[in-house]
Amino acid sequence: MITVASTARVERDPGRWSLRSRVTTAFAASSGLMALVLVLAVFAVVSDENRTFSDRLNHRPALLVVCALAAALVGAAVGVWVSRRMLKPLRDVAEAAALIASGELGTRLPDSNDQDLASTVASFNRMVDSLQRRIDREHRLFGDVSHELRTPLTTLTTAVGVLGRYRDDLPPRSRQALDLVIAEVEHLRRLLDDLLALARVEAGMHHGDADPVSVGDLLAHTLHDSHRPAELLTVADEVTVLGRKLELERAVVNLLKNADRHGGGAVAVTVRRDGVDAVIEVDDAGPGVAAADRDRIFERFATSRAGRRATTGGTGIGLALVAETVATHRGRVECTERPGGGARFVIRLPLIDREGRHQLVTQL
């Protein structure tokens, strides 16, 4: 059932000032001030009885100019103040919308005492509440379906394992069919594992609290555990981020596996500092990613339309899981072209200082 927000009505409180009332009062006050200045100027001109009105004007030009400038300055000052007050609700809505778009669905607009703005604020907050409930339902369904599939998959894996013990007793065509079944069951198992991991990340179910993590040490450990040469890693700067080590390791492993499947293998992993960001770069030796696909490949089950070809079957979830994991760490990931050919995946995470606080950009 869809509820139209515009039909909601907010009771008017006689004690509240509406936006129209405030604007009307402000401009009335500015007009009164300007009128008062002009009256004082005319009074100063006509108060000299020894001259005609024309002579008075001719002998008091500086006073008229000063009064006119004063009136203009007063009006401008009031106009600036009114415009800022008028635009503040719009700025609040824009900031809240930007936070919501970045994934902070808990953001809400504060209640307003303005009669004209109260209905807009209430409708906006109801819209975000509805959006969050819908996303939560999708996440629960996504996780529940993935979890419920684990039981039949476990049974199927066990049955295939039993058949595998008697593989040598089967005829050639049956062995070939069994190999296909084993490969598909393994693919399904990896897919469910990735789906459950993605559901947990999106639902905010993290493995422990975030701690200071040395990015260089984390990557060295990741390369060692994945049986890759340590020579791949280049640590240009020692950087530390606030994160969950297991999740960050999984994100890097997914990038390395993506390079194996689509890019001929990783050729370099680099850690450096860029302003207030820690930057991780994973380069591969493949044909690269078309510019039109560089954002789309981080979506679920997305595939590149040209250029890259898979050597082994992936699940289509790996890069989406990388993007979600990095986003939960207040970072971002992007795909660019590697100098000399190939693809470069870049992860940017906010640095922390010695006290464990994120370093902020200084506004000049």
pLDDT in the model for residue 213: 92
DSSP 314: -
Q: What angle do CA 326, 226, 205 make, to 5 degrees?
A: 35
CATH number of 211-350: 3.30.565.10
How is the chain split into domains, by residue range? 5-135, 149-202, 211-350
pLDDT in the model for residue 346: 95
The answer to whether 233 touches 269, Cβ cutoff 8 Å, is: yes
Strands (E), 58-210: none
Long-range contacts from 123-127, C-beta under 8 angstroms, 24+ separation: 123/5, 123/6, 123/8, 124/93, 124/96, 126/3, 126/5, 126/8, 127/5
HSE, side-chain direction, 13 A CA sphere, residue 339: 1
- Percentage with pLDDT > 90 across the chain: 21
Residue ranges in 263-311 assigned as alpha helix (H):
none
**Both structure tokens of 85:** 């007050």
pLDDT in the model for residue 95: 82
CA dist 30 and 70 (Å) reads 12
The answer to whether 91 touches 83, Cβ cutoff 8 Å, is: no
CB atoms within 10 A of CB 356: 11
* pLDDT tens, position by position, 175-215: 888 888 888 888 888 888 877 777 777 766 666 678 899 99
pLDDT in the model for residue 16: 57
* pLDDT tens, position by position, 41-57: 666 655 555 555 455 55
* pLDDT tens, position by position, 282-336: 999 888 888 888 888 888 777 555 445 444 556 778 898 899 899 888 899 999 9
* pLDDT tens, position by position, 82-106: 767 777 777 788 788 877 776 677 7
Q: Does residue 147 carry a pLDDT above 80?
A: no
DSSP 179: H
